Amino acid sequence: MSFKIGNLEIENKIILAPMAGVSNSPFRILSRTYGAGLVFAEMVSDKGLLFNNEKTIKLLYMTDVEKPMAQQVFGSDLKTMVEAAMYIEKNSNCDIIDINMGCPVPKVAIKAQAGASLMKNPDMIYSIVSEIVKKVKKPVTVKIRSGWDNQSVNAVEVAKRIEEAGASAITVHARTRAQGYGGFADLDVIKAVKEAVNIPVIGNGDVVDGPSAKRMLEYTKCDAVMIGRAALGNPWIFREINAYLKDGTIIDRPTHQEIKEMMILHFNSLADLKGEHTAILEMRSHGPWYLKGIEHASALRKQLSQTKTKAEFISHIEAFFE
């Protein structure tokens, strides 16, 4: 089940995706606890690091419990991307430096000309990756999309340039930037990239359970699968997929008691790291994700969206799950 990125041994093929506002230290710890072989931190801005933006610097926080961990960085300027990668190597305890070339959100891909926008410029991708690889000792990986839109699906060409530039692995989110998170991931793109390069390829898109993970691994021959939105409110997914890949075991979904305890644990972890107020704001997003598929939870969702204290948050949850 294990594979390697550079000299780093990854114990299994299930990886937590870098998700803004989600893949912070408490959630990475939960994901590792429940079986993620590798976790990615949410992306940081190259310029945010270099201008010592307090919010950006705080995103580099990690604990040894989360390792192995990849820190993702985004930007489009060669000089500042190289400097940011060097900053991360010096000031972060991460094991891998990952370059985001797949983010589709307008603020990143259009305004900053970073993320998925770089898919339109393979030469620039080569320059950024090769210069970073020369300047840092940690393995450098890159996350890409299929292409900018359906008329420019160039993941294979880009992947070859990334490998030439010296990267240690590539993650392919098999949707175009134009698709955003809609439609379906095209497994043929991941398969084609895997056939075109010799470094590990991580497949990303539409993996939601054991069978979909197995299908991606078997069809594309990719080295690992990355879980994004399916992990929202569901850190158990890593345990479930690992069991299924091992011998086809289908683990029962978590009980209401487990969900209640996990919500409180997640809240407390966020509060310890960021303070009660920020934990409440973040759990207004996470809470509804944990409650997905639970009958009659709409009233609780509404209560959580208006909660102002830890005591309120816990009392609402305990009353509902009684």
The CATH number of the structural domain formed by 256-321 is 1.10.1200.80
270 confidence band (pLDDT: 50, 70, 90): very high
Q: What is the pLDDT of residues 141-153, one digit of tens each?
A: 999 999 999 999 9
In this prediction, residue 110 carries a pLDDT of: 79
Per DSSP, helices labelled H in the chain are 25-33, 46-50, 54-58, 78-91, 106, 122-135, 155-164, 187-196, 210-220, 237-247, 256-274, 276-290, 298-306, 310-321
Q: What is the pLDDT of residues 87-104, one digit of tens each?
A: 999 999 999 999 999 888
Whole-angstrom Cα distance, residue 147 to residue 137? 29
In this prediction, residue 103 carries a pLDDT of: 85
Contact 96, 69 (CB under 8 A): yes
Q: What is the amino acid identity at position 28?
A: R
Total-model pTM? 0.96
In this prediction, residue 106 carries a pLDDT of: 83
Q: Where are the domains of the chain?
A: 3-247, 256-321
Residues annotated catalytic, as ranges: 103
In this prediction, residue 116 carries a pLDDT of: 84
In this prediction, residue 221 carries a pLDDT of: 98
- The gap from C-alpha 8 to its chain's centroid, in whole angstroms, comes to 18
Identical topology for domains 3-247 and 256-321: no
Res 322 pLDDT > 90: no
| The CATH number of domain 3-247 is 3.20.20.70 | yes
